[in-house]
Structure 1
Amino acid sequence: MVGRRHAAGIAAVALVAGLGLTGCGSVSNPGSAAKVGDETISVSYLQKQSKDILAKAGRTDLGDAESTQLQGELLQQLIDDQVIVVAGRREGVTATQADVDKVRAEMTAQQVVLPPDMVDGFARYVVIRRTLSTKLLGRAPASQQDQAKADQLVGQRMTAAAKEIGVQVNPRYGTWSGTTLRPDGQLVKSTPSSAPAAVPAPQAP
């Protein structure tokens, strides 16, 4: 199965769809939802993903607050999709297309609803996170305690990766805490250190 933490970043997406899934700063460009390393996730791209998932879920009745929340959840996952690649690279972990295709099949079997543009990125996130969990824990998680420890270890690597490449978020969607997008809270400033090769951001077709 896809796993508990693997879908935590899109909890609101799953709720809207009616399905269950088992460095910091702010951008100055109003057209940018977030900047991850050298790559930009545009507001227009994020809004498109929101519209696409609502269409797939048969929903058109979200209010402004709910729409903003949904976009925030989607943005968190888009950021995570890029950060996990960097975290994996630092540990020698990557995802093959065969791995991604296998998880895509799992998602289809579970009827996971995601915007089409985000499916590959999320599947890659799941693959890398699973592999990192096993590598850092020294074995495949076999209990809730194992999974909690693995989540902690992976979270530490993702925090370090995000700090390395730098993550900036449009205040419209909240503030970046170093690991998660918070809808409010004190804005914390960070300066990216030496960044690795840029991870391609999802691009609108």
Structure 2
Amino acid sequence: MHRRRRRTALLLSAAITAAAPLLSACGSDAHPGAAAVVGGERITVSQLENRVNDVRAAQRAASADEAQYQRLVAQTGTLTRHTLNGMVLEKVLDQALEDAGVRVTRKEVQEYRSALEEQEGGSQGLELSWLQQYNVAPEHLDESIRSDVEVQRLATALGVDVNTPDGSAVFWQAMAKASEKLGVDLNPRYGTWDVEVEKQGRVGMAEAKTPWVREVTKAGTQEPA
């Protein structure tokens, strides 16, 4: 049951748009020091860097030696943009849930995490799995799992199956509406934000994925979970 629900959440379309040139500025002119402003709330460069540093620290701790750690760093060179994409989408998802009148309880998240831990052989196994697969540090695992549950609940509220192209499109329409309602002001050094669902079929930054979004092909076939 929980494995099926997890696959449903993971098979959502990643937010992929045309990449914008990276700029050297530390913040936009309107919001200095901000990586993004979502609904008037700042995600600071410092907050973003701290979350990225948490991932790097966890990767180092999980590496057998410095060479393995450096390989991990090389393989996750776009970690900062991917992390920011997830941080913004978390806020957009919260708005979409509010619009749909959906509330996820702590108990639901705890039960879902317990089921995942059982699959992964315990808490440490789950932490390592999500670090390796999704670049989520243990400190932020609960937030990521909560988003997983929220996606499932939103899809249910919308009455769609996100494993299908039509269901995925409806889901991202709701996310686009929430994104436009909030307003996303992204620091141009990290890229651009796109909510053209009709054209792109997704919402988000260039080539950025989060644990609860994964590509659904145009033909409707799914990537392995």
Q: CA deviation at 1:56?
A: 1.5
Counterparts of 2:115 and 2:48, CA distance in 1? 25
- The answer to whether structure 1 residue 40 and structure 2 residue 64 are counterparts is no
Instruction: Quote the residue 1:3 is aligned against.
Output: 7
Match in the other structure for 2:130: 112
Structure 1: state its 5+ residue gaps: 12-25, 184-205
Amino acid at match of 1:115: A
For residue 152 of structure 1, the aligned residue among 169, 181, 191 is 169
Deviation at 1:27, TM superposition (A): 3.6
Contact 1:35 1:41 in 2 (8 A): yes
User: How many positions carry a matched residue from both structures?
Assistant: 162
Q: Secondary structure, in 3 states, of the residue corresponding to 1:152?
A: helix
For CA contacts below 8 A with separation 6 or more, give which structure has more relative contact order. 2
Which letter does structure 2 place at the counterpart of 1:181? M
1:17 matched to which residue of 2? Answer: none
For 1:57, the equivalent position in structure 2 comes to 59
Gap change, CA 1:38 and 1:82, over 3 Å in 2: same
SS of residue paired to 1:181: coil
Distance (Å, rounded) in 1 between the aligned partners of 2:44 and 2:181 = 21
Task: Please list the CA deviations of residues 7-63 of structure 1 after superposition, one character each: whole Å capped at 9, or x if unmatched.
Answer: 86889xxxxxxxxxxxxxx94334111111121111111111112112212365336
Task: Name the CA distance, whole Å, in 1 between partners of 2:114 and 2:81.
Answer: 26
SS at match of 1:33: strand
Q: Is 1:172 matched with 2:189?
A: yes
| CA gap 1:44/1:8 in 2 versus in 1, 3 angstroms | farther
User: CA separation in 2, counterparts of 1:4 and 1:37?
Assistant: 28
Equivalent pair of 2:9/2:151 in contact (CA under 8 Å): no
Partner of 1:201: none
Q: Among the aligned pairs, what percent are the same residue?
A: 26
1:161 CA drift (Å)? 0.5
| Residue in structure 2 matched with residue 134 of structure 1 by the alignment | 156
1:114-161 per-residue CA deviation (whole Å, 9 max, x = no partner) reads: 2244333322221221012122236xx4x943xx33322111111000
CA distance in 2, matches of 1:38, 1:106: 36
Q: Structure 2: 5+ residue runs without aligned partners?
A: 16-26, 64-68, 121-125, 196-202, 208-225
TM norm structure 2:
0.62
The alignment status of 1:84 with 2:93, answered yes or no, reads: yes
Specify whether residues 134 and 8 from structure 1 end up closer, same or farther in structure 2 by C-alpha distance, changes over 3 A only: closer
Aligned equivalents of 2:48, 2:14: Cα separation in 1: 13
Higher radius of gyration, 1 or 2: 2
Residues 176 and 107 of structure 1: is their aligned pair in 2 closer, same or farther, counting only changes over 3 Å? farther
Instruction: Report the alpha carbon displacement of residue 93 of structure 1 after superposing the two structures with TM.
Output: 0.9
